[in-house]
Amino acid sequence: MTRIYQSLIDGALFIGLGLAAGCSEDKPESYSEQRPSDSSLSPDDRGLQSKDVLAASDQMASDLLTSPQLNQSRTQWTIVVSTLDDNTIDKSFAVNYDIFMERLKTLLSEKGQGRVALIDNKSTFHNLRDKELEGSGDQFGQGPGGGQPAPQAINPDYALHGAVSDMPNRGTNFYLINFDLTNLQTRQIVWSRHYEVKVSR
């Protein structure tokens, strides 16, 4: 009887190992492999990574929305978000720096709680208006909107813009990303911050 029990146990173990081996071969890639964290650095990548986009935009949104000038203002700030000028020297990587501004813009909208109003870029607004509204096309060949303000359109008080510069070396590159908020009436830069990071090339 002992031999019979031992044979049954051995058979069960063999089947179990076989099933485990089959499952391991058929097991798909884990979620973490297919969707790595966007807040971590990838050892296979170089230059600026998604972590920098998150860190920079989080830092800028928090700083701007806690600014005493903004929070002490009796009126809502109207802001148009522009672009980040590419002043970099190293062109090894094709980087769309405006992704920093796009995420910053959405954070200001999500967390602004009415303190800021985002105004669309003028050219984008005119293109959308002329495309979607009846009778708003260019009838006199003078370009979008004929250079005239759209009825009920809001002129922004401030423009959020910036620039990216770098200092490349043999194995690394140092990035400096400036963010400025300019008063469009006075030309005064009322808020200016930067994000800096050193990366492998």
- Does residue 147 form part of some domain? no
- Does residue 31 form part of some domain? no
Model confidence band, residue 104 (pLDDT cutoffs 50, 70, 90): very high
**Lateral strand order in the sheet of 77-86:** 116-119, 77-86, 158-168, 172-183, 189-200
Distances (CA, A) of 182 to 99, 104, 188: 20, 16, 6
Least confident of 21-35, 72-86, 135-149: 135-149
CA distance 17 to 15: 5
Q: Is-contact 11 22, C-beta < 8 A?
A: no
Coil/strand/helix, residue 94: coil
pTM of the model: 0.73
Range of the domain at 173: 46-132+154-200
pLDDT of residue 193: 98
56-67: average pLDDT: 97
| CATH at 61 | 3.40.50
- Does residue 187 form part of some domain? yes
Handedness of CA 144, 150, 153, 154 (dihedral sign): positive
Could you give the residue ranges of the DSSP H alpha helices within 27-179? 31-34, 50-65, 68-71, 98-111, 122-132
Model confidence band, residue 102 (pLDDT cutoffs 50, 70, 90): very high
pLDDT of residue 116: 96
Model confidence band, residue 49 (pLDDT cutoffs 50, 70, 90): confident
- Does residue 56 form part of some domain? yes
pLDDT of residue 8: 44
CA distance 63 to 42: 27
128-173: pLDDT as tens digits: 989 998 876 655 445 554 455 556 789 999 999 999 999 999 999 9
- Does residue 6 form part of some domain? no
Task: Give me the number of domains the chain comprises.
Answer: 1
Q: Is-contact 137 90, C-beta < 8 A?
A: no
pLDDT of residue 169: 93
117-122: average pLDDT: 94
Q: Is-contact 175 164, C-beta < 8 A?
A: yes
- Does residue 167 form part of some domain? yes
